[in-house]
Amino acid sequence: MKTFLFTLFALSVILQHLPGYAQQTTADKIAGTWRGTSLCQVKQSACHDENVVYHISKKSANLYTIQASKIVNGAEEDMDTFDSVVYDETKQTLKFTMKDNQGRNAVWLFKIDGMQIQGTLTINENTLFRIVELKKS
């Protein structure tokens, strides 16, 4: 019986250290480095398709910071930092509202699905400007 209990304990310890097995907190699932694309949806604009890296960190209970970079010549180039990005646990979303360079209302909305994020940038409440697809690295 002692051997069985020891084996069971040892197996549970090993399984907890396997990637994806242990339960993570929401902050653990969101915080980290995310890589992917940010694709323009308004083709007749100054917007460019980009390979991007988002560094997401937890700020407080339901607030996060996103430091966004684009990849230029193989290196990260800082684009912007979004402070006070609101996490909605029920919807599994991150949302940030701002004014863009032209003074338009701009809403970033990111839907978290495990190790992937699907995001959008909408301007003036009804113009889909960007689609962002990210994977946690």
Q: How confident is the model at residue 25 (pLDDT cuts 50, 70, 90)?
A: low
Alpha-helix runs per DSSP H in the chain: 2-16, 26-30
User: What is the per-residue pLDDT for 68?
Assistant: 97
Tokens, residue 106: 């701009």
User: What is the per-residue pLDDT for 109?
Assistant: 98
Contact yes or no for 96/67 (Cβ under 8 A): no
User: What is the per-residue pLDDT for 79?
Assistant: 95
Tokens, residue 87: 């996490």
Percentage helix, strand, coil, to 5, in the chain?
A: 15, 55, 30
Is 60 exceeded by the pLDDT of residue 121?
Answer: yes
Q: Which of 98, 72, 93, 71 is nearest to 83 (CA)?
A: 98
Q: Cα(80)–Cα(71) distance, rounded to whole angstroms?
A: 13
Domains parsed from the chain with CATH numbers: 25-136 (2.40.128.20)
Contact yes or no for 112/29 (Cβ under 8 A): yes
